[in-house]
Chains A and B, each alone.
Chain A
Amino acid sequence: MKQTEFLNTVLPFKDKVFRLAKRLLVSTDEAEDATQELYFKLWKNKKKLSDYKNVEAFAMTMTKNYCLDQLKAKRSNNLTLVHSNYKDDNVSLQRDIELKDSVARVHELIDELPEKQKLIIQLRDVENYDFEEIGKILDLQPTAVRVALSRARKTIREQLIKQHNYGIS
């Protein structure tokens, strides 16, 4: 596989890889490093890439595994970062402050979800993959994906309502 051919197959989903890495690793710097590392790995394995029908799903699986490994290593090193003061720059366009708060809160709530649900929310609601693809990426049955997704969506909504009511009373 030539370099240009490689880049053409692999570059279109670089943002998806980055966003998935960021979902799991939280910090932008770490997610950027992870993305670069992943592309380097893909380049090293470029001969094998043509064997895969769905290179994108394969890359997403690699991203997931790599980031989970990173997290494991970090936890065993006792270097867990607590992002309690997390600020998301993306919501700055919103005029309504209350809505802005809620949107930022969604980010925190997703962050608090179990890893599997976090991954599924990212792949489905942000990246819009279908259930078969998500199943392939995460090595799960599509029904298991649905169950976890439903649980994640309900949790986020319930927590938002809780916060909303708390603000009123």
Chain B
Amino acid sequence: MELANIEKLIEKYESAETSLKEEAVLKTYFSQDIVAPHLIEYKAMFIYFQESKEERFTKTIPLRKKTSNMWWLSIAASVALIFSVYFMNSPSGLTASEKQEAELALLETQKAFQLISQNLNKGGNVAMASLSEFEKAQNKVFKVKK
């Protein structure tokens, strides 16, 4: 492209009136090795713009943050807590035969306890009897002394 045209475009460029197409023309002009010496500053600018555009984002894009693991963990923990409380408070999960068995076991246990307490009572009576025997003897002794 002729230098006169480039100068015109540059003037428009300075007042921000160039279209994108015209700016592309300037870009190709200034990517040549040799440009008009009075326009050398623009060469630096256009080269800089071009090089800047070549920069790439090379890292990966995480759609889930690391902290979101914690989030899931807290949900799992609360779910576990709710379930455990729920199961502890409601033994309704037992079947009818299991219930019967449990009642039977209760009766057996009660019987066993009854037996123990009866025997304890017996033992108590025996002890009381010997205590009263001892009292009799004591009374005799004190009477004699009197």
Interfacial residues, chain A to chain B (CB-CB below 8 A): 3, 6, 11, 14-15, 17-19, 22, 32, 35-36, 39-40, 43, 90-91, 93-94, 99, 102-103, 105-107, 122, 125-128, 130, 145-147, 149-150, 153-154, 156-157, 160-161, 164
- Contacts known (A146-B17, A150-B16); A32 close to B41, Cβ less than 8 A: no
Residue ID in chain B nearest A156 by CB atoms: B45
- Consensus secondary structure, chain B interface: helix
At the interface, yes or no: B44 with Cβ under 8 Å from chain A? yes
- B59 and A36 within 8 A (CB): yes
Ranked nearest first, the 8 interchain pairs of A and B with the lowest CB-CB distance are A102-B44, A18-B57, A150-B16, A106-B48, A160-B41, A149-B16, A146-B16, A90-B51
CB contacts (< 8 Å) of B55 on chain A: these are 15, 18-19, 22, 90
- B62 and A40 within 8 A (CB): yes
- Kindly supply a per-residue 1/0 record for chain B positions 1-17, scoring 1 wherever the CB is within 8 Å of any chain A CB and 0 otherwise: 00000000000011111
- A15 and B56 within 8 A (CB): yes
Count the A-B residue pairs with Cβ separation under 8 angstroms: how many?
94
Interfacial residues, chain B to chain A (CB-CB below 8 A): 13-17, 20, 23, 40-45, 47-49, 51-57, 59, 61-63, 65
CB contacts (< 8 Å) of A106 on chain B: these are 44-45, 48
- B61 and A36 within 8 A (CB): yes
Complex Cα–Cα for A152 and B15 (A): 10
CB contacts (< 8 Å) of B65 on chain A: these are 40
- Contacts known (A36-B59, A36-B62); A157 close to B51, Cβ less than 8 A: no
- B57 and A157 within 8 A (CB): no
Complex Cα–Cα for A116 and B141 (A): 120
